[in-house]
Amino acid sequence: MKNLFIHRDSQRGVKGTYEWLVDEVKELGEALEGSDKESTESEFADVFAWLSSLANLMDVDLEKAALNKYPYKCPKCSCSPCKCPLN
C-alpha cells in the first residue's frame, strides 16, 4: 500500500485520509446489511487500504502495532481463544 499510494496520501494529508477511512467504514456497514458477499469483501479491502494509508502517513507499522497489542492472545485475559465475558 505504501508503494502504491504514499505519494497521493502525503498530498491528501492525515485529516483527509482519516475522513476517507471513516467513509469506507460506513460503506462497510452498509454492505454488512446486504447479502452480496463480493461487495462486502470489496468494502473490507477498502477499509484495510485506507487504514494502511493512514498508518503509513503516521509512520505506524500496522502489522507490528497489531502484533504488539494482540500477540496471538487476548491483551486482557492473556488467553487464546479469549475468555473475557461478552459486554
> Where along the sequence are the contacts to Zn ion (CB under 5 A)?
74, 76-77, 82, 84
Cβ closest to Zn ion, residue 64 vs residue 70: 70
Q: Rounded to a whole number, what is the largest CA-CA distance in the chain? A: 44
**Cβ atoms 50, 5 nearer than 8 A:** no
Residue 81 beta carbon to Zn ion: minimum distance, rounded to whole angstroms? 8
Residue 62 beta carbon to Zn ion: minimum distance, rounded to whole angstroms? 22
- At 39, give phi and psi (nearest 5°): -65, -40
Residue 9 corresponds to which cell in the numbers above? 496520501
Cβ closest to Zn ion, residue 32 vs residue 77: 77
Residue 9 beta carbon to Zn ion: minimum distance, rounded to whole angstroms? 34
Angstrom distance (rounded) from CA 36 to CA 51? 23
Cβ closest to Zn ion, residue 7 vs residue 76: 76
